[in-house]
Amino acid sequence: MEEGISFETLGNILLWFVVLTLLAYGNREIEIWRITKDIERYLRFFRRARDRAVNVVLSSVKEAAQKYKQKLDLRVLEDRISQLIESVFIQPESKDPFKIITKLKHLISTENKRLSNEIKILVPSLNDNDVENLKNMVSAARALNSIYKMLDHYYRLARKFKSLWLLIQLQSLMPFMSEEIRALEKSLDAFKNGYPIGDSVGSLVASRFIFKHTTDFKPVEIVENTIAVEVPFDGRKVYVIKAKGPSGCTGHPDDALRELLKDLNGNVDLIVTVDAAIKLEGENSGLVVDGVGVAIGGLGVEKFNIEEVATYNQIPLYAVLVKMSEAEALSVMSKAVALAADTAVERVERIIRERSKEGRNVILVGVGNTIGVYP
């Protein structure tokens, strides 16, 4: 007699399939709910950081206006600041890379001038230092706004399509973005009060080198917001280039280097650049390393131009880097980084002694934001 599956057994099997399907679906929904709550918690933090940045910019402009006894229309102020923070920088077309660096430099210059003009329209009597510091604060607020809106965009897309994998990827990015947000948020207090930040270490090294080897110097503003100082050192002439302090600007080290090389007819033994660098997790803040090349960050415009002019004149390029975290780079300079500046000066001196001849010229470029650093 053939045996078959009874209706009761078949019903139990179907019931198990239904239960397992419901459990799988329920587990997926619970996982999506858990991840979305975690992402929402980060997004609330990012939104608060963005809103605080906007309020700091508004209050700083109001304080500047009071300082110069100038009346402000609050509605106009809020509207103009909102427009500045929402504005975007459009990269040049890269399908044809010919002269893309020249285009990018032109756009960056236009953007800087536009931002300066916008701030001067609000408070015409502002001095250059205050304008530069406010520009840095607006840039930080703009970056915070851009990061928040982009992350919020992807979060809403993931919720809209209930994409677990997009949510998982977004959740995995949040701790890293949180570090960047905190770094930008900390920079606001430094720029508002005019304190040196971690990224100022390149300018600080240049400044300490100047004051260590001479007391009688006359800074020459070789290009806009960028100075050059001639410093005697062990029978050599060291020409130090840095942004003009103590305002929060980075200057134009590539243009300054080009002008200086013209004055010296390319008669230079070596070029040394000093800048901050992001450390690895296993490295200590304030670690000083040296190498070959150009130590400079950003969009790569200044780096390309320095490499190009040095290659044309066949001048060796050396670099000194001071390691720090991203948060340290944008917040008030830490003790470890400040102490590392002295070590970096000694490293620069050693490079100059060992790799240049007496009676020759050397160029030292202190790279980075020079806020709070003289001269």
Sequence-distant (≥ 6) Cβ neighbours of residue 201 within 8 angstroms: 274, 275, 276, 322, 324, 333, 337, 338, 340, 341, 344, 368
> Can you say how many angstroms the Cα of residue 106 is from the centroid of all Cα atoms in its chain?
19
pLDDT digits (tens, 9 = 90+) for 46-86: 999 999 999 999 999 999 999 888 888 888 999 999 999 99
> What are the distances in angstroms from CA 320 to CA 55, 198, 276, 286, 289?
37, 15, 9, 12, 6
User: How far is it, in rounded angstroms, from Cα 24 to Cα 38?
Assistant: 21
Q: Which two tokens stand for residue 284?
A: 């200590």
Q: What does the pLDDT read at residue 1?
A: 40
Q: Which two tokens stand for residue 332?
A: 């008030």
Contact present, 251 and 275 (Cβ < 8 Å): no
User: How far is it, in rounded angstroms, from Cα 82 to Cα 108?
Assistant: 21
Contact present, 299 and 104 (Cβ < 8 Å): yes
Q: Please choose, from the candidates 264, 235, 282, the residue with its C-alpha nearest in 3D space to the C-alpha of residue 363.
A: 264
Q: Which two tokens stand for residue 155?
A: 């979060």
Sequence-distant (≥ 6) Cβ neighbours of residue 38 within 8 angstroms: 171, 174
Total length of the chain: 375
By CB atoms closer than 10 A (0-12, 13-18, 19+), residue 329 is buried
Contact present, 319 and 275 (Cβ < 8 Å): yes
Q: Please choose, from the candidates 276, 290, 364, the residue with its C-alpha nearest in 3D space to the C-alpha of residue 325.
A: 276
Q: What does the pLDDT read at residue 97?
A: 84
Taking the CB of residue 335, how many other CB atoms lie within 10 A of it?
A: 9
Contact present, 194 and 369 (Cβ < 8 Å): no
**Class of 198-366 in CATH:** alpha beta
Residue ranges of the chain whose pLDDT lies below 50: 1-2
Q: What is the DSSP string of 63-85?
A: HHHHHTT----HHHHHHHHHHHH
End-to-end CA distance of the chain: 104
Alpha helices (runs of H) in the chain, residue ranges in sequence order? 7-67, 74-86, 100-122, 128-161, 164-193, 201-213, 253-263, 301-312, 326-330, 335-355
Contact present, 321 and 188 (Cβ < 8 Å): no
Torsion sign across C-alpha atoms 36, 41, 45, 50: positive
Q: Which two tokens stand for residue 249?
A: 């600007």
Domain layout of the chain by residue ranges: 26-193, 198-366
Q: Which two tokens stand for residue 66?
A: 């009071």
Q: What does the pLDDT read at residue 3?
A: 56
* Coil vs helix vs strand at 361: strand
Q: What is the DSSP string of 265-290?
A: TT--SEEEEEEEEEPPTTSPTT-EEE
pLDDT digits (tens, 9 = 90+) for 260-289: 999 999 899 999 999 999 999 999 999 999
